[in-house]
Amino acid sequence: MKLRKMAISLLASLVINLVIYASCSYAAEPASDAAALGIQNYMQNPEKYPGTIEVEGVVSQAILAKHLFVLIDMEEYKNCKSVTCSLLRLPIAWEGALPAVYDIVRVKGAVGKRDGKSLFIAKEFKKVGQANGKK
């Protein structure tokens, strides 16, 4: 009889622990399913990513008169420590205040046309860091 009570107690404890583990694991999942694409990954195969996507890179240029900023790949920046060495540069159209050169930004948007040219049109962006270590 004692053995049976002990087995039931252990089983109940196991079930409770599994329920707690499952609920904690579910709650710990990030709110966003998809990670942002690097500039190099996106630009090498843009047709693989139709519609709205999220990209992340280092701002290499900000052109206020044209409402554009240009992103380069984080890894390329890390390799050369300059915003001018990248071969792949993604122009981003944005009507609001532009980020600063060396800002690391995450941009949500899609390819569209502006003035007859295709470019990435941002719907929103946020600064997530600073590439040159300044704040």
What's the CATH number where 48 sits? 2.40.50.140
Same domain? 46 vs 112: yes
Question: For residue 103, what pLDDT is reported?
Answer: 96
On whether both 25 and 57 belong to a single domain, the answer is no
Question: Are 65 and 102 in a shared domain?
Answer: yes
42 in a structural domain: yes
> How distant is the alpha carbon of residue 126 from its chain centre?
10
Both 113 and 92 in one domain: the answer is yes
What is the pTM for the complete model shown?
0.71
Task: Indicate if 23 and 84 belong to the same structural domain.
Answer: no
At 72-88, the pLDDT tens digits run 999 999 998 889 988 89
Residue 13: give the domain boundaries.
1-31
- Which residues lie below 8 Å from residue 128, measured CB to CB, with a gap of 6+? 56, 104, 105, 106
Beta-bridge partners for 77: none
Position 135 in a domain: no
Q: How confident is the prediction for the chain on average, in pLDDT?
A: 79
Residues 51 and 12 in one domain: no
What end-to-end distance do the CA atoms of the chain give, in Å?
Answer: 68
Element (H, E) at 27: helix 2-27
- Domain count for the chain: 2
CA 73 centroid distance within chain: 12
